[in-house]
Amino acid sequence: MKLSDFDYNLPQHLIAQFPTKQRGASRLLLLRKESLDIIHYNFNQLCTLLDEGDILVLNDTRVLNARLVGKRFGFQGKIEVLLIDRISNRDYKCLVKPARRFKDGTKLIFDNGRLEAEVLGSEEEFKHIRFNISGDIATILDEVGQIPLPPYIKREPEEQDKNRYQTIYASKKGAVAAPTAGLHFTEDILSGIKSRGVEIAYITLHVGYATFKPVTEDKVSLHKMHKEYFEIPKVTSEMINRTKERGKRVIAVGTTTCRALESAAGSRQTGLPKRVPGAISIAKGWTDLFIYPGYNFKIVDGMLTNFHFPRTTLLMLVSALCGRDNLIKAYHEAIEKGYRFYSYGDAMLIV
């Protein structure tokens, strides 16, 4: 399976630069796995597409203000830092630009000196940066950092992004990108889903570099995923197992939720005990699970997701659930009908 198998052409004007005026006002494309029917809805009709007894699983991670804009000590040129992996409270692996300005020993200043840091070294595409802080860095980032909008959103973060680039149920700080399939939900939509007899449960996966790391290997199976931290609480595992026992569907909201659930179901991840196929239990740890066509899903029966960039692990994961050709056909129809793509775009339900 080659990287070029997951390519498609998208007109640039369909890349959403802003969220919809009202949360929940997106469009929703339904793709049925068995019949291959493609039907178009509004997102607020989602509850009518779920069955009583199903369970909807959401990712409650919260996006950090992980983008820092500053300068090198003694220089005027702008530099940018994106925190990726926590080494300690003071030390982080970071993506930086322009990379040539981040030599070992370089002193960095952010927000007119409110936050200072030093470059300690390099590891692959990351810089090891130590921040001169004593308290919790998440609190400091709330004051000094910016919401890390994806690079295909060609504008600076605005005030509305502080709210709209978070899900309404975001609670556990740690992500550097939003679990975007969840951005469509409102309290009314969640209440309507519950009133239909659909259960709602939560997991945590702190979205990190794995979710947007470019695939450079031409042979897909050679790609190595970056690790991301996840947790499956006891109450969620019990709810999912009851759903499975009743023969009802587990619907993952987003690729991150899907990866967390499938990681907890298998024995592939270091430090995780073996699982009984079709069942899930409490899990906490790091996952580098790479899902692409040919993968045998153990927990997830359906998925709510946004439309993804070509040649990405996200597109490959969704292809594994519904078939690559079926997915590309659905994408082509979405393009013809003017759907909005990527983080602030429209949604797709695969069941």
Residue-wise pLDDT for 4-63, tens only, equals: 999 999 999 999 999 999 999 999 999 999 999 999 999 999 999 999 999 999 999 999
One domain for residues 173 and 271: yes
Report whether pLDDT(312) > 60: yes
Provide the sign of the torsion angle of the four alpha carbons 35, 40, 46, 48, taken in this order.
negative
- The pTM (predicted TM-score) of the whole model is 0.92
Span 215-262, pLDDT tens digits: 999 999 999 999 999 999 999 999 999 999 999 999 999 999 999 999
One domain for residues 184 and 113: no
One domain for residues 128 and 228: no
Domain range for 346: 3-63+162-350
Span 164-184, pLDDT tens digits: 999 999 999 999 999 999 999
pLDDT band at 279 (very low <50, low <70, confident <90, very high): confident
pLDDT at 278: 65
Closest CA to 164 of 283, 41, 297, 26: 26
Q: Does 273 or 146 have the greater pLDDT score?
A: 146
pLDDT at 71: 96
- How many Cβ atoms sit within 10 Å of the Cβ of residue 32? 16
One domain for residues 120 and 260: no
CA dihedral 129, 132, 135, 141 (to 10 degrees): -60
One domain for residues 107 and 252: no
Is 24 domain-assigned?
Answer: yes
What is the pLDDT of the chain when averaged over all its residues?
93
One domain for residues 57 and 80: no
Q: What is d(CA 244, CA 110) in angstroms, rounded to the nearest whole number?
A: 50
Give the chain's length: 351
One domain for residues 56 and 131: no
pLDDT at 88: 87
**Contacts with 307 (C-beta within 8 Å, 6 or more apart), sequence order:** 331, 334, 339, 340, 341, 342, 345, 346, 348
pLDDT band at 277 (very low <50, low <70, confident <90, very high): low
One domain for residues 339 and 215: yes
Domains in the chain, number? 2
Report whether pLDDT(211) > 90: no
One domain for residues 58 and 123: no
One domain for residues 21 and 134: no
CATH code for the domain in which residue 119 is found: 2.40.10.240
Is 157 domain-assigned?
Answer: no
CATH code for the domain in which residue 169 is found: 3.40.1780.10
